[in-house]
Chain A
Amino acid sequence: MAKSLMIVDDSATMRKIIMRTVRMSGLEFSRTEEAGNGNEALEKLNAEPVEIMLCDINMPEMSGSELVKKVRELPSCDDTKIVMVSTESSQEIIDDLLANGANGYITKPFTPEKFQEKLAPFMN
Chain B
Amino acid sequence: MSVDQAVFDGVLLEAAKEVFETMIFMDIENASEPEQTIDELTLLGSITFTGTLEGCLSIFCGLPAAKAIATNMLGIDATDDISEEDICDAIGEVANMVMGSIKSRVQHGIEKLAVSIPSVVTGRQLESNLCDGENKITVTVNIEDEYTAQFSLLYRESEK
Contact = CB atoms under 8 A, between A and B. Distances in A.
Interface of A: 10-14, 16-17, 20, 58-60, 86-90, 107-111
A89 B23 contact: no
B56 to A, nearest CB: 15
B107 A109 contact: no
Interface residues of B, number: 26
B117 A109 contact: no
B107 A13 contact: no
Given A89-B100, A89-B104, A13 B93 contact: yes
Contact of B115 (A87, A109, A110): A87
B23 A13 contact: no
Contact of B23 (A17, A59, A60): A17
Given A20-B74, A109-B101, A58 B117 contact: yes
Given A13-B90, A58-B115, A110-B23, 4 more contacts: A11-B93, A13-B70, A89-B100, A108-B100
Contacts of A13: 70, 73-74, 86, 89-90, 93
A107 B23 CA distance: 12
A76 to B, nearest CB: 30
- Label chain B's interface by main secondary structure: helix
A111 B23 CA distance: 7
A89 B103 contact: yes
B129 interface: no
Interface of B: 18-19, 22-23, 70, 73-75, 85-86, 89-90, 92-93, 96-97, 99-101, 103-104, 107, 113, 115-117
A63 to B, nearest CB: 10
A113 to B, nearest CB: 10
Given A86-B100, A87-B101, A89-B100, A111 B22 contact: yes
Contacts of B93: 11, 13-14, 17
Given A17-B73, A58-B115, A90 B107 contact: yes
14 contacts: A11-B89, A13-B86, A13-B89, A13-B90, A86-B100, A87-B99, A87-B100, A88-B100, A89-B100, A89-B103, A90-B113, A107-B104, A109-B100, A110-B23
Contacts of A90: 103, 107, 113
